[in-house]
Amino acid sequence: MSTSTFPVTTSAPRRDDSDAPVVVFDRVSLAFDEKVILQDVSFTLRSGHMKIILGASGAGKSTILRLILGLLKPDGGAITVNGHRVDQMREADLMEVRTGVGMVFQEGALFDSLTVNENVGYRLYEETRQPLEQVDARVAEVLGFVGLGEYGQRMPSELSGGQRRRVAIARAICAKPGVILYDEPTTGLDPITALTIDDEIVKLRDLEEVTSIIVTHQLRDAFYIATHEAARQGNEIDFVKASPKKAAETAFVVLKDAGVLFEGAADELRASDDPYIRAFLS
Amino acid sequence: MAGRGTEWLKRALLEIQEYVRLIGQVGRSLVTRPIYGRDIVEQLDAIGVGSMTVVLLTGTFTGMVLALQSGLTLDQFGARPVVGRLVSASMVKELGPVLTALMVTGRVGSGIAAELGSMVVTDQIAALRALGTDPVRKLVVPRVVAGTVMVPILTIISDAVGMLGGAVISSLQLKVASSVYWNNVIAGLYMEDVYMGLIKPVVLGFVLVTIGCHVGLRTKGGTQGVGRATTNAVVAGSVAVLVFDFLITKLLITLMY
């Protein structure tokens, strides 16, 4: 598959320390009142790699993303993000860690009262002292990257579901974070629109070397992202079948009964004979 | 039955604890950076200028009805000319601050709860935190500053139009000479009354906005929860305004009179 795109000039931090752990979950547990959400969950995400977290509704997938950002605190275990123990940090100190992590929320979570431009550049406009012209240029660049260069002055309410998700992706990447977390990025979208979102995620992973975690129960999108890779051909970007090396950099994590049932590559997941996974994939 | 009562008490104590914690966060955010100045100006406009019409109408008609009712009672003692004293004292000490605060609670407290509640249920608050912004600094502090500054200003305006409304009724209906009315308005006011009339709205403005913010940020349960939060903000805010009005009045009478 090939797509004509805006020249990719976004630049998340390049991987200088390949395979260094970026996100580490070590026996993390969390319960809300009597309900255990996560129990001794452990995994490691390395620089430039991707984890795709699958599981039934209520399995704790989105909770993992909120724990990484420090929006929730675990009851036990350790969570390390870019070398910081986020489970032990105060809210004020977490702001620094969050500058290195972007998040695409379910349904986008765009700010209703701000234009698309203001949403996308929010962090740079509000939380940095960068010159306005520089921020405006960056906003235009990332909106072009997600194919919405003409939509900067619109309000979020004027956008379709797919456009809102793409704006949310643009907002997440605008400040050039090294890690991006996607919470159900394609849920509720038609297959064609979902594919454009999948392509954005693949582009960011392969061309920008962004470390990422995707939470989803959309198997079609999950396998597409895991088995394809983006390659630049001049001003064109091709989406081709992933090489074995690239495919090995994306791992699936399947959650069940508050724990990790499976962790491995797409082929291993497909080959699994675990009855739950067979039922989940069928 | 006892179990339900205990549960209710626990929930009430938790709400109070969270409310006090929010006030602590607001206090810290007021004296440390960053301060979102543009948001403060926006809220001064939204809360202050936006509430002007309702406050003007409330103040005017309250002053007019006060003059009408006072005139009837004063006639029993042949004291109709002192109607200005009753209008000014009542407006400045009590009705101006309380009615303004109640009207602002209805208009602004509910709006704040609905806006923040919607932001909670659509993950916009979580998105703010994820983008490195403290929601208390960005959303609560500007509203609290604006409420605390603008409610006293609105109260002064309400007092002024209330006395003007009283003057219209005194002159047209009660046939009290305008000069007599205004002399009595001034004679009926002591500096202690003016202090009371200015201290009360500062506290009431702070209370009604912080309650709106607290209720909004604690919203749970989707759009239905937003509706509940809006109602709760108005009910809790209105009751708090009346309770705090009593407490401040009691305190200031003890200290000043």
**CA–CA dist A193, A33 (Å, integer):** 38
Q: Do A95 and B132 touch (CB under 8 A)?
A: yes
The amino acid present at B179, given as its one-letter code, is S
For chain B, the first-to-last Cα distance in angstroms comes to: 47
Residue A98 contacts B where some CB pair is shorter than 8 Å = yes
Q: Do A127 and B132 touch (CB under 8 A)?
A: yes
**CA–CA dist A128, A227 (Å, integer):** 37
Confidence of residue B45 (pLDDT cuts 50, 70, 90): very high
Confidence of residue A234 (pLDDT cuts 50, 70, 90): confident
Given the DSSP bridges, would you call strands A211-215 and A50-54 parallel, antiparallel or unpaired? Answer: parallel
Q: Is the pLDDT of residue B48 over 90?
A: yes
Measured in degrees and rounded to the nearest 5, phi and psi for residue A211 equal -75, 135
Mean pLDDT of all residues in A19-28: 91
Residue B127 contacts A where some CB pair is shorter than 8 Å = yes
Q: Is the pLDDT of residue B3 over 90?
A: no
CB A196 within 8 A of CB A148: no
Q: Give the pLDDT of residue A5.
A: 42
Q: Give the pLDDT of residue A39.
A: 94
Q: In the numeric block, which tokens belong to residue B154?
A: 């609105």
Mean pLDDT of all residues in B236-240: 96
Q: Give the pLDDT of residue A167.
A: 94
What is the full DSSP assignment across A208-262?
S--EEEEE---HHHHHHHHHEEEEEETTEEEEEEPPHHHHHTEEEEEEETTEEEE
Stretch among A17-26, A119-128, B104-113 having the lowest mean pLDDT:
A17-26
SS3 B77: coil
Task: Give A112→chain B minimum CA distance, Å.
Answer: 9
Q: What is the pLDDT of residues A157-203, one digit of tens each?
A: 999 988 999 999 999 999 989 999 999 998 888 888 889 889 989 99
CB A204 within 8 A of CB A155: no
Per this entry, what is the length of chain A? 282
Q: Do B124 and A103 touch (CB under 8 A)?
A: no
Q: Residue B123: closest CA among chain A residues belongs to which residue?
A: A109
Best of B125, B131, B138, B217 to substitute, by most chain A Cβ atoms within 10 angstroms, is B131
Q: Residue A110: closest CA among chain B residues belongs to which residue?
A: B124
Mean pLDDT of all residues in A49-55: 95
Q: Give the pLDDT of residue B1.
A: 64
pTM: 0.87
